[in-house]
Structure 1
Amino acid sequence: MAIEQFQDIENGENSIGLEDLEEPFIEAKKIADSEGEESEITEDNGSIGMVLFSTAVAVCGSFEFGSCVGFSAPTQAALREDLNLSLAEFSVFGSLVTIGAMLGAITSGRISDFIGRKGAMRLSAVFCITGWLAVYFSMGALLLDMGRFLTGYGIGIFSYVVPVFVAEISPKNLRGGLTTLNQLMIVTGSSIAFSVGTIVSWRTLALTGLLPCIVLLLGLFLVPESPRWLAKVGLEKEFKAALNKLRGKDADVSREAAEIEAYIKSLQSLPKARLLDLFDNKHIRSVIIGVGLMVFQQFGGINGISFYASQTFVDAGLSSGSIGTLAYAIVQVPITIVGAVLMDKSGRRPLLMVSATGTFFGCFLTGLSFFLKGQSLLLGWVPVLAVSGLLIYIASFSIGMGAVPWVIMSEIFPIHVKAVAGSLVVLVNWLGAWAVSYTFNFLMSWSSTGTFLLYSVFCALTVLFVAKVVPETKGKTLEEIQASINS
């Protein structure tokens, strides 16, 4: 049943090859070039004000994502005490967000193709609002878990549609940086939830989750739909109007419009996309890249570490988890900003490799601290090593591994399979998130040292995977990326 939900909405015949895909795209460039030098557009010729505003509205969904993920860390003790939850019940509550997100991931591509990128974001906001209200009014585990599940479903859709929307509206020279704002707002939402959660009750913290949804719903009335989606569904008039609105009224969008239309036209001959189609030679490398990055992102331990950060600091020997949690929250935002700046300067691959190396080092230090504690060695250094390791880990994750896999996911798939491929990639991400967040407390009970050393192994494997498999996509149009991957 889940596999059937991966179906896309394209129709046509299975007779097109890479040459057929590139020919109209190249021809469109020739036509645009023949109109004279003055007709050539670059991303700097028009206004980017609407692009920036549209991105700011969309990433409210990312902020909501972060608020939801960050809710469990500062509220663990209070929730367990107020609602009399066992460790297993709280682990279920913490991980239910990932189960809901998995279902959101399964349906996200189909929903965003059927009702548009803006429609999908509206639907996500409604689910999140409903979920937060359920958490706020809960008096026991049942309503609490229902609310957590609903917010999870909402952010599962957000996790796909926000980076896709931003990538589709952005000029190529800004796409990496703007798409990275998705991760920046996720960590900002998480950091604010961490910080605010240390000073307000868990019910009040639940109400703060409503704010980004309300801002998003209001802002969507003022921004255009994705031009590429409009072109895909045949709304030519709306497509050109949206592109003009995004690039500025004085910008010449003829060349960009011709390239997009030619690419979309070439895709009309392609068959209805199915899950099995992703394993064709034309798409298998993109699938390996997208799925592989999400597997390594999650099994490096990020969701277990962030969901239960406060308790981890206490286990490491700090008198209060609040101090470590605040430091954790403060580190995320500025480092993610640095990553956003570097995204279109240094490129995707270098950021990923530096980031994965740093997360390996952070996990190793934290594992070492727990080993020393268990052996009663250098006890004065144990909290220092644990805090340093966790802060190095989150700083390293924030500069690359947090954002770059989502940016690459939004870039590497052709639009006719983007829905089914994006759903698969996001589903894998949330399956990994569920596995890590649910097992973290049990792994820590088994061996704190072993838990962090296990995560460090995955971080080391990430470096090898990026070096051998992941291409550089910096500075290329979405259409050029498709040509290079399949060359």
Structure 2
Amino acid sequence: MTNESGSKGYLYCICGVAIIGGLLFGYDTAVISGAEQALQKFFQTGLGENGYSTFVHGFVTSSALVGCVIGGAISGVMAGKLGRKNSLIISSILFFLSALGSYMPEFLFRTDFSFYQPKEATNGLKWAFILYRVLGGIGVGLASAICPMYIAEVSPANIRGKLVSWNQFAIIFGQLLVYAINTVIRSCLGDTEKVIDERMITVGWRRMFVSECVPAALFGILLILVPKTPRYLVLTNRDEKAESVLARINGTSKAKEILEEIKETIRNENNEKSEGLFAYGVVVVIVGMLLSFFQQAVGINVVLYYAKRIFENMGASGNVAMIQTVVMGIVNVFFTFVAIFTVEKVGRRPLLMIGSIGMAIGMIALSVLMFCNVYNLTTLIFIIVYTASFMMSWGPICWVLISEIFPNTIRANAVAIAVAVQWISNLIVSTTFPYLSELSVGGAYLMYGIFSILSALFVYFMVPETKGKTLEDMNNLWLERSGKKKIDNIV
């Protein structure tokens, strides 16, 4: 029996499994928000303020980003050699190990088989904690590159942007989920702020990290059930299997058409193999790198990683500050929905430019308020203006473009470069913020506002519109831009 229409339910199910990687991406990167102050006090208790300075804390807080750089850099090789699916399974294992190790970094110092009690902070314990966070970061780096790639490679062109945008929703939902879980964990530690703060230093931050084990295990188990992507199957000479997956998603007739388009791009890769990464010109790689750079240079992870600290600076108590991070997470989820339901109607470029303008307004206003020492409801409003603008634009749309803008033949390696640039930028921005904020919070926010303006100019002059184009169309788009010959037999 032939299937002429395909199954959207099947497509949504396999994409739903893939976006759990996005949820873990958000969960792992935001869990530090609720734990970082208790973590700082824990290490300062054992090492002293000189042994554990603000700059060192900035590095420990952001240490997962070192792993993110590594994971992003190797994602292209892994996606090409092991496949998208198998690479994601490896990332799920890394998430799980990181959650357990961050909960009990003393495990590395185990000398017997007795149950471990938490130890006093030492330099060795600090480096063990960093190691486990780096492992989780490698998982994030892999997931951040390969989850959107997987979704893009199984999705029809007319809904690809929407489905990849759901990955960003999963990232933001993961952040909201961990904000809520952190709040519950903190509130269950005691009945007074003093008791809660004391228990946060001993056990609270540990419970926050170990909570990630549940979604990590679920992700790994469900990945066993999803297929490899059709484009990877063609790359590994399994055309019949690729056609079977395409038919189940798109219908029998459409599957044959898509399969031929994929095979033609693979033949083109073989013809131009000597040109490698720059077979379609240098500009496409530069655009991918700059998309990643600007997504981080606007300062979004400063707000996400240090949300609780920022709200406490506004006068909120510990529990109230945690609740405010949850409220911010809800706002972020809502505006991510705006992107999901407008990306195929409005297009990628308009959303990015609107978001850049909104972020510039929010950050520059925050800068002025910081210079004037104003910490009140107005400050909270402009934080929301900034984060909402990011979530409806650069948050999801950057990942949509990175997953679809590169031609099939260079996608895995080009995505790896773009994602590595993104995590390097994230590491620099997040690590330097505690130091910059000590010099001038207003000056730091002004810098992020200027980058927001530059991001709008970059999109206007360099980023093409990809709405409605197939992944195979990307070959011709960049060949034409680079002045090379167009592939005539690709529609």
Q: Structure 1 residues 161, 180: closer, same or farther in 2, change over 3 A?
A: same
Tell me the equivalent position of 1:416.
Answer: 409
SS at 1:392 equivalent: helix
Q: Which of 159, 162, 174 lines up with 1:189 in the alignment?
A: 174
Q: Which residue of 1 aligns with 2:284?
A: 286
Give the partner amino acid of 1:132. A
Match of 2:10 among 50, 53, 76: 50
Match of 2:42 in 1: 82
Q: Which moved more, 1:414-423 or 1:340-349?
A: 414-423
Contact preservation (8 Å) 1:273, 1:417: no
Q: Distance in 1 between matches of 2:259 and 2:432?
A: 48
SS at match of 2:149: helix
SS in structure 1 of the partner of residue 345 of structure 2: coil
Distance 2:3 2:291 in 1: 36
Residue matched to 2:246:
243
Which segment drifts farther, 470-479 or 406-415? Answer: 406-415
- Partners of 1:401 and 1:144 in 2: CA distance: 31
Cα deviation, residue 162, structure 1: 0.5
Change (3 A) 1:272 1:235: farther
Write the distance in 2 (CA, Å) between the matches of 1:222 and 1:154: 20
Deviation of 1:332 after TM superposition, in Å, equals 1.0
Which stretch shows the higher mean deviation, 282-291 or 147-156? 282-291
* Correspondence list, 1:370-409, <5 A: 370-373=370-373, 379=374, 382-409=375-402
Matches of residues 415-454 of structure 1 in structure 2 within 5 Å? Answer: 415-454=408-447
Moved more, 215-224 or 314-323: 314-323
Higher mean C-alpha displacement, 295-304 vs 254-263: 254-263
Cα distance, 1:308 vs structure 2: 0.8
Q: Secondary structure at the match of 1:224?
A: coil
Counterpart Cα distance in 1 of 2:465 and 2:215: 33
Q: Paired residue for 1:124, among 85, 91, 102?
A: 91
Return the offset for 1:71: 1.0
Amino acid at match of 1:271: K
Q: Which amino acid aligns with 2:457?
A: L
Amino acid at match of 1:291: M
Tell me the secondary structure at the aligned position of residue 447 of structure 1. Answer: helix
Classify the secondary structure of the residue corresponding to 1:158: helix
CA RMSD of aligned residues (A): 1.9
Aligned 8 A contact 1:167 1:411 in 2: yes
Give the aligned residue type for 2:389. Answer: S
Give the whole-Å Cα distance in 2 for the aligned partners of 1:266 and 1:485: 14
Give me the whole-angstrom Cα distance separating, in 2, the residues matched to 1:345 and 1:267: 32
Counterpart of 1:99 in structure 2 is 66
> Contact 2:99–2:210 (CA<8 Å) still a contact in 1?
yes
How does 1:105-144 map onto structure 2 within 5 Å? 105-138=72-105, 139=119, 140-144=125-129
- Establish whether residue 228 from structure 1 lines up as the match of residue 221 from structure 2: no
Partner of 1:213: 216
Structure 1 unaligned segments of length 5 or more: list them.
1-38, 374-378
Distance 2:248 2:57 in 1: 47
The 3 A distance-change label for structure 1 pair 40 and 468 is farther
- Number of the residue aligned with 2:466: 473
Q: How far, CA to CA, are the matches of 1:361 and 1:308 in structure 2?
A: 20
Partner of 2:258: 256
Question: For the Cα contact (< 8 Å) 1:61–1:212, is it kept in 2?
Answer: no
Retained in 2: the 8 A contact 1:57–1:219?
A: yes
Q: CA deviation at 1:86?
A: 4.5
Q: In 1, distance between residues paired with 2:254 and 2:395?
A: 35
Q: Distance in 1 between matches of 2:68 and 2:28?
A: 11
Q: Secondary structure at the match of 1:344?
A: helix
- CA deviations 1:124-144 (Å, max 9, x no partner) are 111111111110112432222
- Conserved? CA contact 2:64–2:137, under 8 Å: yes
1:193: how far off? 1.2
Counterpart residue number, 2:272: 270
SS in 1 for 2:376: helix
Give the conservation status (yes or no) of the 8 Å contact 1:294–1:429.
yes
CA contact (8 A) 2:3 2:247 kept: no
Instruction: Give the equivalent residue in structure 2 for 1:315.
Output: 313
Deviation at 1:272, TM superposition (A): 5.5
Task: Determine if contact 2:26/2:173 at 8 Å carries over to the other structure.
Answer: yes
Answer whether contact 2:265 2:409 (CA < 8 A) is retained.
no
Mean CA deviation greater in 319-328 or 471-480: 319-328
Of residues 303, 320, 328, the one that matches 1:305 is 303
Of 158, 161, 164, the residue aligned with 1:173 is 158
CA distance, structure 2, for counterparts of residue 135 and residue 363 of structure 1: 33
DSSP-derived class of the 1:59 partner = helix
| Count of aligned residue pairs for this structure pair | 434
Identify which range, 133-142 or 117-126, moves more after superposition. 133-142
1:69 aligned residue: 29
More deviation, 352-361/255-264: 255-264
Question: Identity of paired residues, percent?
Answer: 30
Aligned to 2:191: none
Q: What is the distance in 1 between the residues matched to 2:184 and 2:368? A: 32
CA deviation after TM superposition for structure 1 residue 338, in Å: 1.5
